[in-house]
Amino acid sequence: MKRILMLSLALLTFITYGNQANAQQTNNQDFGAESTMSRQEARKAARAAHRRAEAAQQLKDFQKAVETIKSGSFVIEVDQLLFPRGNSKFVSSLTNFISMNQGNAVIQIATSYYNPGPNGLGGITVEGKVSDITMSTDKKGFVYYNFNVQGMFVSASVNVQLLGDGNRTTVTVYPNFNNNNLTMTGVIVPYADSNIFQGQTF
């Protein structure tokens, strides 16, 4: 009888311990799932916050660029030239730029590392007076700034497009006497803050 009673007590203890262990394991699994979800939600929230911060900074840069070109004293520091058929060439913004200041504009291109060119930097630098400035904004908020440049060695129309991508812009120079249009991209900065090196000007 004692043996039966002891066996019964042992069996009861085993069952109770097993139930407690299962419950603890279930709780641990639930906590692990909650912990994983919390980490995922935290990463998602961090990414969303980063995107909002980037968008806010981009808008701030765009608004500053618009005010800068309105001032008539700016530099477009060019970092890429765009050619027909989708070809492009990355260039140094130190020596490739379009500037406007005090009613004058300078267009400088320097792409050759082997031939100094007329400006001594591997390309050409031309300067002229600015006229016929127009500025407009479309329904999407994109800004278009156009002007003419007239000098001894340059006669061209310049089309600047700000498409809401921060202070980045696409510029096309249309020579008035030929069809050798030149399209480039770069960033707009105030003239006083520009980091450019100007070669020999014509």
Tens of pLDDT, residues 70-89: 999 999 999 999 988 888 99
Least confidently predicted of 18-32, 143-157, 158-172: 18-32
Instruction: Answer for the pair 60, 171: CB distance below 8 angstroms, yes or no.
Output: no
Instruction: Write down the pTM of the prediction.
Output: 0.76
Helix (H, G, I), strand (E, B) or coil at 29: helix
Q: What does the pLDDT read at residue 202?
A: 79
Check pLDDT > 80 for residue 176: yes
Q: What does the pLDDT read at residue 34?
A: 65
How many CA atoms within 13 Å lie on the side-chain side of 93?
Answer: 16
Kindly state the average pLDDT of the residues 145-163.
96
In which band, very low, low, confident or very high, does the pLDDT at 121 lie, cut at 50, 70 and 90?
A: very high
Residue ranges of the alpha helices (H) in 72-187?
none
The top-scoring range by mean pLDDT among 48-52, 176-180, 191-195 is: 191-195
Instruction: Answer for the pair 99, 75: CB distance below 8 angstroms, yes or no.
Output: yes
Name the E strands within 111-152.
123-137, 143-150
Q: What does the pLDDT read at residue 98?
A: 98
Estimate to the nearest angstrom the gap between the alpha carbon of 66 and the chain centroid. Answer: 16
Strands 104-110 and 97-101, by their bridges, are: antiparallel
Instruction: Answer for the pair 192, 169: CB distance below 8 angstroms, yes or no.
Output: no
Task: Calculate ∠ Cα 178-179-183, nearest 5°.
Answer: 125
Q: Over pLDDT 90: what percentage of the chain? A: 60
Q: Which of 86, 65, 67, 84 is nearest to 76 (CA)?
A: 65
Residue 43 CB partners (closer than 8 Å, separation 6+): none
In which band, very low, low, confident or very high, does the pLDDT at 1 lie, cut at 50, 70 and 90?
A: very low
pLDDT tens profile 7-39: 343 434 444 444 454 545 545 555 566 677 688
